[in-house]
Amino acid sequence: MKLHGIAGGILLIASGLAGCAGFNGESAASASDKTYTLSWAESGRVSKRSLDELEALGSRQMSSHYFDRAMQYSNSRFRSISFDALLKQFPSGSADAVLLNCFDDYQGLISIEDIGRYRLELATKIYLAPGVEPPHWLNPLLILVPDGVDAPFQERFMTANIRELRFVKLEHYYAPLNRVVEDYPATAQGLKKFKDNCVYCHSVKGVGGNKGGSLFQKFDFSKGADRENFKEQFLGFHHKDNADKQNLEQFVDDLGLGEIAGFLQKLAL
């Protein structure tokens, strides 16, 4: 398949059949080979759309300084569709959020309110500047914050490689974690930071993605030494120069990591 980029850039095409596509001469599955699933947790309803069908809703070319800032890139370009316009094609019922299941076991979660408030888009194609070597996870669908929107700088607005959009209720999804704050109100900030930065890769109590493995298998949060080790390992891996371009250090500071560790200490009881 012939790939077309902007100004000689690299074009990524979502590929459920061939994995990461379009890099270093690898072959890419065509858009018609790829389908995305929309489903409803309450009713069990399922709808599937190909990349071409999604773009037919009304796609546009755009840039995102938010994306470039997070990735330390410049001049990135995208073909995208309005996330809000997509959701309006399907009745959400009592759902107030969209769970984003990804091919690499990453799992994002965006409230329907935030989708409208920040005018979020879904990138169906990604064009990077010449010479940029993208990480393996950077594939459509990708959450995009448009230029001119003052969205908070958080990991959740960088979800990529999405294969399924699932309507859920936040109170039901987060119930196992929220119970900790009910018993230990002082952990509220730690829970918030965990939701914003960690749960997408590290599931706990059956909540979240599994890309990075279980934190409870890696650390004993009842021990002060392990809580400090958690902070050190986090900063040792999730820094701006890591190979996977997962720079979470820009989203959460040392104080925030301490609050996350304190929340996980109570969650493990």
pLDDT of residue 107: 92
| β-sheet bridge partners, residue 121 | 82, 144
Q: Please state whether beta strands 77-82 and 121-128 pair in parallel, antiparallel, or not at all (unpaired).
A: antiparallel
Q: What is the CATH number of domain 10-169?
A: 3.90.420.10
Classified as helix, coil or strand, 115 is helix
Residue 176 has pLDDT above 60, yes or no: yes
Residue 14 has pLDDT above 80, yes or no: no
Its sign, for the CA torsion 179, 185, 186, 191, is: positive
| β-sheet bridge partners, residue 111 | 97
Domain residue ranges in the chain: 10-169, 174-267
pLDDT of residue 1: 22
* pLDDT tens per residue across span 106-124: 999 999 999 999 999 999 9
- pLDDT over 90, % of the chain: 37
Query: When comparing pLDDT for 8 and 265, which is higher?
Result: 265
* pLDDT tens per residue across span 143-154: 999 999 999 988
pTM (2 decimals)?
Answer: 0.76
Residue 85 has pLDDT above 60, yes or no: yes
pLDDT of residue 137: 86
Other Cβ atoms closer than 10 A to 3 = 14
pLDDT of residue 219: 84
Considering 52-56, 234-238, 250-254, the range whose residues carry the highest mean pLDDT is 52-56
Angle, vertex CA 22, rays to CA 19 and CA 27, nearest 5: 70
Residue 92 has pLDDT above 80, yes or no: no
Section 30-43 average pLDDT: 63
Residue 13 has pLDDT above 80, yes or no: no
Residue 127 phi, psi dihedral angles, 5° rounding: -115, 120
Cis before 109 (ω within 30): no
Q: What contacts 155, CB < 8 A, 6 or more positions away?
A: 196, 197, 200, 248, 251
| β-sheet bridge partners, residue 98 | 110, 167
Assess contact for 162 and 98: CB atoms under 8 A: no
Mean pLDDT of all residues belonging to the chain = 79
Q: Mapped to the 3 state alphabet, what secondary structure does 102-135 carry?
A: ECCCCEEEEEHHHHHHCCCEEEEEEEECCCCCCC
pLDDT of residue 65: 97
Cα distance between residue 61 and residue 8, in whole Å = 16
Other Cβ atoms closer than 10 A to 254 = 11
Q: Please state whether beta strands 77-82 and 10-13 pair in parallel, antiparallel, or not at all (unpaired).
A: unpaired
pLDDT of residue 248: 55
pLDDT of residue 22: 34
Residue 216 phi, psi dihedral angles, 5° rounding: -70, -20
Cα distance between residue 161 and residue 266, in whole Å = 32
Q: What contacts 231, CB < 8 A, 6 or more positions away?
A: 254, 257, 258, 261
